[in-house]
């Protein structure tokens, strides 16, 4: 029993060692630019992590670039409220509020959202629904007949012995 406990503890410790979190430091350069510095809390470099600035309201991507080997990136501060998103991959996101420019954030005018293909409602005609129903009915009928014939053949083979 003790050996199982030791194995479980070792596995849990090993999993914990690989845990990491991305630390973001945002430095205002006082000239409407900011420097974003990112490092993992384990001390590893965050080079190659995707940096994205997204509009807070419309979710529009304002800026997108991978972090260089020095883990620093200097970017113009957007005029509208935004989020700083660092994407490590595998849906592992680190999100932080963006800092305002010198003159503050501008009020965003409402923009009519155009319907995208994803927003459209799918409609199927009755002919397609009926065709799919017939296809599945034929499939199940074929399987049923095949099972019956297989059982008949097995019985005939057993009777011949």
Contact predicate 42/52, CB 8 Å: no
41, 20 contact by CB (below 8 A): yes
pLDDT, residue 94, reads 87
Give the structural domain span for 39. 21-97
In this prediction, residue 39 has a pLDDT band, given cuts at 50, 70 and 90, of confident
Kindly report the pTM of this predicted structure: 0.56
Answer whether residue 13 is part of any domain. Answer: no
pLDDT above 70 for 13: no
| Tokens read off for 74 | 């200097």
Residue 1 belongs to some domain of the structure: no
Asked if residue 128 and residue 93 are part of one domain, the reply reads no
Per-residue pLDDT, averaged over 36-56, amounts to: 86
> In angstroms, rounded to a whole number, what is the distance separating the alpha carbons of residues 29 and 133?
65
94-147 pLDDT tens trace = 889 888 888 888 776 665 556 666 555 555 678 788 888 999 999 999 999 999
């Amino acid at each position: 029993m003790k050996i199982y406990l030791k194995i479980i503890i070792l596995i849990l410790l090993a999993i914990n060692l690989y845990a990491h979190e991305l630390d973001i430091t945002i430095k205002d350069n006082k000239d409407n630019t900011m420097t974003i510095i990112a490092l993992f809390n384990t001390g590893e470099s965050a080079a190659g992590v995707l940096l994205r600035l997204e509009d807070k309201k419309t979710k529009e991507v304002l800026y997108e670039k991978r972090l260089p080997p020095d883990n620093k990136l200097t970017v113009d501060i957007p005029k509208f409220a935004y989020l700083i998103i660092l994407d490590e991959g595998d849906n592992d996101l680190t999100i932080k509020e963006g800092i305002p420019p010198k003159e503050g954030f501008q009020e965003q005018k409402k923009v009519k959202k155009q319907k995208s293909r994803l927003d459209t409602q799918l409609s199927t005609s009755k002919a397609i629904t009926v065709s799919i129903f017939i296809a599945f009915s034929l499939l199940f009928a074929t399987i049923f007949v095949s099972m019956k014939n297989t059982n008949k053949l097995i019985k005939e083979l057993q009777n011949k012995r």
